[in-house]
Chain A
Amino acid sequence: SAVISQKPSRDICQRGTSLTIQCQVDSQVTMMFWYRQQPGQSLTLIATANQGSEATYESGFVIDKFPISRPNLTFSTLTVSNMSPEDSSIYLCSTEGVNYGYTFGSGTRLTVV
Chain B
Amino acid sequence: SQQGEEDPQALSIQEGENATMNCSYKTSINNLQWYRQNSGRGLVHLILIRSNEREKHSGRLRVTLDTSKKSSSLLITASRAADTASYFCATFRGGADGLTFGKGTHLIIQP
Q: For B56, list chain A residues within 8 Å (CB).
A: none
Q: Find A48's partner among B31, B40, B96, B101 (CB 8 Å cutoff).
A: B96
Q: Tell me if B48 and A101 are in contact (CB < 8 A).
A: yes
Q: Find B100's partner among A45, A90, A103 (CB 8 Å cutoff).
A: A45
Q: Tell me if B48 and A33 are in contact (CB < 8 A).
A: no
Interface flag for B33 (CB, 8 Å): yes
Q: CB-nearest residue of chain A relative to B47?
A: A101
Task: Quote the shortest CB–CB distance from A1 to chain B (angstroms).
Answer: 8
Q: For A56, list chain B residues within 8 Å (CB).
A: 96
State the total of A-B contacts with C-beta under 8 angstroms. 69
Q: Which of B31, B41, B44 has the most CB of A within 10 A?
A: B41
Report the interface size class on chain A: 20 to 34
Kindly state the separation between the CA atoms of A33 and B1 in the bound complex, as whole angstroms.
Answer: 14
Q: Tell me if B40 and A42 are in contact (CB < 8 A).
A: no
Q: For A105, list chain B residues within 8 Å (CB).
A: 42
Q: For A35, list chain B residues within 8 Å (CB).
A: 98
Kindly state the separation between the CA atoms of A50 and B95 in the bound complex, as whole angstroms.
Answer: 13
* 25 A-B pairs whose Cβ atoms sit less than 8 Å apart in the complex: A1-B45, A31-B96, A33-B99, A37-B40, A42-B88, A42-B103, A43-B88, A43-B99, A44-B2, A45-B98, A45-B100, A48-B98, A58-B1, A92-B42, A98-B30, A98-B31, A99-B48, A100-B45, A100-B48, A101-B33, A104-B45, A105-B42, A106-B41, A107-B40, A107-B41
Give residues in A with beta carbon < 8 Å to B: 1, 6, 31, 33, 35, 37, 41-45, 48, 50, 56, 58-59, 90, 92, 94, 97-107, 109
New A-B contacts (20) at CB < 8 Å, excluding given A31-B96, A42-B2, A44-B101: A37-B40, A42-B101, A42-B103, A43-B101, A44-B2, A45-B98, A45-B99, A45-B100, A50-B96, A56-B96, A94-B43, A94-B98, A94-B99, A98-B30, A102-B43, A102-B45, A104-B43, A104-B45, A106-B42, A107-B40
A-B interface, 7 closest residue pairs, ranked by CB to CB distance from nearest: A101-B45, A106-B42, A33-B98, A104-B43, A45-B98, A43-B101, A104-B42
